[in-house]
Amino acid sequence: MMADSLQPREEPRAAVTGGGTPPVIAPGHTFGTVTDKISSIVLTRRTPLWWYAGFGIVLMLSGLLLVSLTYLVFKGIGIWGNNVPVGWAFDITNFVWWIGIGHAGTLISAILLLLKQTWRTSINRFAEAMTLFAVASAGIFPLFHTGRPWLAYWLLPYPNTMNVWPQFRSPLVWDVFAVSTYATVSLLFWFVGLIPDLATLRDRSQSRVGRVIYGMLAMGWRGSARHWHRYETAYLLLAGLATPLVVSVHTVVSFDFAVGIVPGWHTTIFPPYFVAGAIYSGFAMVLTLAIPIRAAYALEDFITMRHLQNMAKVMLVTGLIVAYGYVTEAFIAWYSADKYESFMMLNRLFGPYKLAYWALLLCNVFIPQALWFKAVRTSVPALFVISLIVNVGMWLERFVIIVLSLHRDFLPSSWGNFAPTFWDWSTYLGTIGLFLTLLFLFLRFLPMISIFEMRTMLPEAKVEE
């Protein structure tokens, strides 16, 4: 009778739950249940009906992207609304928006790993997948904005018969290196994380095709202790490399603007303010995706309220940094006594696009303040709505920075306005379609939560002395 009350399993479980806060994994799970729960989503023969319905819709949106890009290559970028003086508009807005969203994945997997934030484990896999798909969507815009995407390789330094080389003093060339390095390292990080789980799928798959495909991808992983040791070393080193990388990418993106002399762009606050904005929008997108996914696949045991609350807190903090950026922009516009800078600010507040600026302040600064209240942070519908609002707000921020600075710069004689065309919208919606199509395929064919890392968090994983 005494032995019952002295069950040794209770204590380590309390360590995982960490006192009064909600647990990272719901109690009662074992190696077997965690493995079966996550791998059964992939290995089931019965794909849920809603998956087909959702996949059909997002595949149609991807089709819209194909149509838009085909027409663009056929006609030229004149089908978009950009024209002198607004040479960058929806394309670059969408590029920066997608790249920003891509930042949460690496932040969650690398920086939170180094900071030993164990709660990251349930969400890092699909946040990394989200990063890859967001970077893929982002890449489409500058690629097609060149007008001749089939010559995009001219951006890379390679010996050629023209004897021409890239101009390394240009931030646009830095961007090519930053974004392609980011895409490569994110892919490596994601794939390395997947290897042990692919081995699990290989060993558990009932079908021959599944065993062969997962087997090839797992590359013969057998869970040897010597392999695990090098694997963990590699994973930590990659995290250490990805951490400065993730900060550098949006910094370089901000240089695209900050190195120019256009009012509203030529400012030193841009790098930190862009990085904070990227993390802000990235976490908003992770919440937007995590909330429906955990409901659809009944993953409340693994993606608990603890995760949602922590992400809400990160959003609140980065949102405040972004708000500080807005305040600094306004302050410097006044304090610099530069009439072009102060006009830029007045033009944002009261010019033809004032609605976009006020909506941006509402979405990014005012509404997210609700996250100060615990009642909001613990309400799933409220978090979902706020995350959607922040996504919209961060898109508006990039639109305001790009279009509002370009459309009225120094000489009133060269002012002009921008209005998006049908093809601007269809390309944007199309990349959302591409992003979600890839995400649907990922959810169906790969484990969306890292199974082996979830095993390490279970109380039974501890080796007793």
Partner 1 sequence: MKLIAEHREVYGLMAEFEDPTSLVNATHKAYHEGYRRMDAYSPYPIEELHEALGSHHSRLPLIVLIGGLAGCIGGYLLQYWVSALAYPLNIGGKPLHSWPAFIPVTFECTILVAALSCVLGMLALNGLPQPYHPVFNVPRFALASRNRFFLCIESQDPKFDIEGTRRFLETLDPREVTTVAD
Sites of contact with partner 1 (CB under 8 A): 30-32, 35, 157, 163-169, 171, 173-174, 177-178, 181, 184-185, 188-189, 191-192, 196, 199-200, 202-204, 219-234, 237-238, 241-242, 244-245, 248, 252, 255, 452-453, 455-456, 460-464
Q: Which of 355, 378, 358 is nearest to 367 (CA)?
A: 358
| C-alpha–C-alpha distance, residues 337 and 325, integer Å | 19
CB of 297 to partner 1, least distance (A): 20
Phi, psi of 180 (to 5 degrees): -70, -35
CB of 140 to partner 1, least distance (A): 21
Contact 128, 109 (CB under 8 A): yes
Kindly state the tokens that stand for 426: 């269809």
Closest to partner 1 by CB, 300 or 460: 460
Q: Which of 234, 228, 29 is nearest to 113 (CA)?
A: 234
Closest to partner 1 by CB, 45 or 226: 226
Segments of 256-384 assigned E as strands: none
Going by the DSSP 8-state scheme, the letter that residue 205 receives in this structure is -
Q: Which of 267, 124, 277 is nearest to 190 (CA)?
A: 124
Q: Which of 94, 97, 101, 96 is nearest to 65 (CA)?
A: 94
Closest to partner 1 by CB, 246 or 389: 246
| C-alpha–C-alpha distance, residues 233 and 45, integer Å | 36
CB of 199 to partner 1, least distance (A): 5
CB of 37 to partner 1, least distance (A): 12
User: Which amino acid is present at 458?
Assistant: L
CB of 185 to partner 1, least distance (A): 5
Phi, psi of 83 (to 5 degrees): -160, 165
Residues in contact with 365: Cβ distance below 8 Å, sequence separation at least 6, in sequence order: 319, 322, 323, 326
Kindly state the tokens that stand for 112: 């939170």
Closest to partner 1 by CB, 272 or 420: 272
CB of 6 to partner 1, least distance (A): 18
| C-alpha–C-alpha distance, residues 19 and 226, integer Å | 35
Closest to partner 1 by CB, 7 or 163: 163
Q: Is 377 exposed, middle or buried (0-12, 13-18, 19+ CB in 10 A)?
A: buried
Closest to partner 1 by CB, 143 or 217: 217
Closest to partner 1 by CB, 10 or 47: 10
State the residue for tokens 């000489």: 411
CB of 178 to partner 1, least distance (A): 5
Size of the chain in residues: 465
CB of 52 to partner 1, least distance (A): 29
Closest to partner 1 by CB, 192 or 298: 192
Q: Is 97 exposed, middle or buried (0-12, 13-18, 19+ CB in 10 A)?
A: buried
CB of 166 to partner 1, least distance (A): 7
Phi-psi region of 337 (alpha: psi -120 to 50; beta: other; left: phi over 0): left
Closest to partner 1 by CB, 59 or 188: 188
User: Which amino acid is present at 242?
Assistant: A
3-state secondary structure of 28: coil
CB of 358 to partner 1, least distance (A): 35
Query: What is the distance between the terminal CA atoms of the chain, rounded to a whole angstrom?
Result: 26
Closest to partner 1 by CB, 26 or 60: 26
CB of 196 to partner 1, least distance (A): 7
Closest to partner 1 by CB, 136 or 356: 136
